[in-house]
With several copies, the nearest count.
Chain A
Amino acid sequence: MAIVVVDVALKPEILDPQGRAIVSALGRVGLSGVADVRQGKQFVLTIDGEIDDAKLAQINEIASTLLSNPVIEDFTVQVRR
């Protein structure tokens, strides 16, 4: 059993209305000094068996086609041990 975490974030140039809404809400509740918030997604995959290079390549493929949309998003893959 292994855990693989895929973080997906909007590309920096893409507007993030959710992040913006959070910045203004933070202002309302009195947390000042937050310059920016970006909201991304995190996928935690539980994988049967061990993670080898082939599997990792497969996961990267999935991350770039299914879990993220390369037109607007970047992603990172980490194996958590």
Chain B
Amino acid sequence: MTPRVGVITFPGSLDDKDAARAVRIAGADSVALWHADADLHSVDAVVLPGGFSYGDYLRCGAIAKFAPVMEKLVDAANGGLPILGICNGFQVLTESHLLPGALTRNDHLHFICRDQKLRIENNTSAWTSDFNVGDEILIPLKNGEGGYVADEKTLDELEGEGRVIARYLEINPNGSRRDIAGITNSRGNVVGIMPHPEHAVETLTGPTTDGLGFFSSLLKSLVNDGKVSA
């Protein structure tokens, strides 16, 4: 059976169609999930897409965490469901305390859209298993509040447990502590990443197809976990 990957749309989500497209290109079915519908419709994984949920007024991701679907999502995350938060989705995950730390205003104060080089640091999470540690990939980054911060203890913990999944290379585009571009929870099912893998899945529209690795990783982990058959 083809895996079914849910993509949540909040009011103000922008990259939901793109995330769904990436899911399809990777070979899964995409299932649209609606913020106000407290039901995950038995999907095998969930993507929280980029954008400006609720306008990102107040703080990025702060209002989205109160959406009805989020309560279900938090339970599912604790139950091991693979969840990928991209950009605004990452912000929602930290606001919901599914991932530690917070994302703050870029140190240079500007929104920045650029093709960003990353180094993959972890290939054991549900969303990075198809990479090798040390792989260098190039995918778009676009955010105004992408500076990853956490206290030193948390940062040390993330490093110590190998939970930094990707780091910025060449340029730290937003002042993230320790060049962190993405992290995972200790179980490895919940991943947050600031750059946009879903914008690097076709040569025509992205700088590379390096982003596909995140989605193919998911498919691989679902097979490995016996969630779906190969």
Contact = CB atoms under 8 A, between A and B. Distances in A.
A76 B141 CA distance: 35
A16 to B, nearest CB: 9
Given A15-B175, A18-B109, A72 B63 contact: no
B58 A21 contact: yes
Given A21-B63, A22-B57, A14 B106 contact: no
A22 B175 CA distance: 18
B149 A21 contact: no
Nearest to A25: B63
A18 B105 contact: yes
Nearest to B177: A15
B223 interface: no
The prevalent SS among residues of A at the interface is helix
Contacts of B62: 66, 69
A17 B102 contact: no
Nearest to B67: A28
Contacts of B150: 71
B94 interface: yes
Contact of B102 (A13, A18, A69): A69
A67 interface: yes
Contact of B108 (A17, A22, A25, A67): A17
B59 to A, nearest CB: 6
A6 to B, nearest CB: 12
Nearest to B36: A28
A71 B103 CA distance: 10
B111 interface: no
Interface string A64-80: 00110101100000000
B107 interface: yes
Interface of B: 54-55, 57-59, 62-63, 66, 94-95, 100-102, 104-109, 147, 149-151, 175
Interface of A: 13-15, 17-18, 21-22, 25, 28-29, 39, 66-67, 69, 71-72
10 contacts: A13-B151, A15-B149, A17-B105, A18-B58, A21-B54, A21-B109, A25-B54, A66-B62, A71-B100, A72-B104
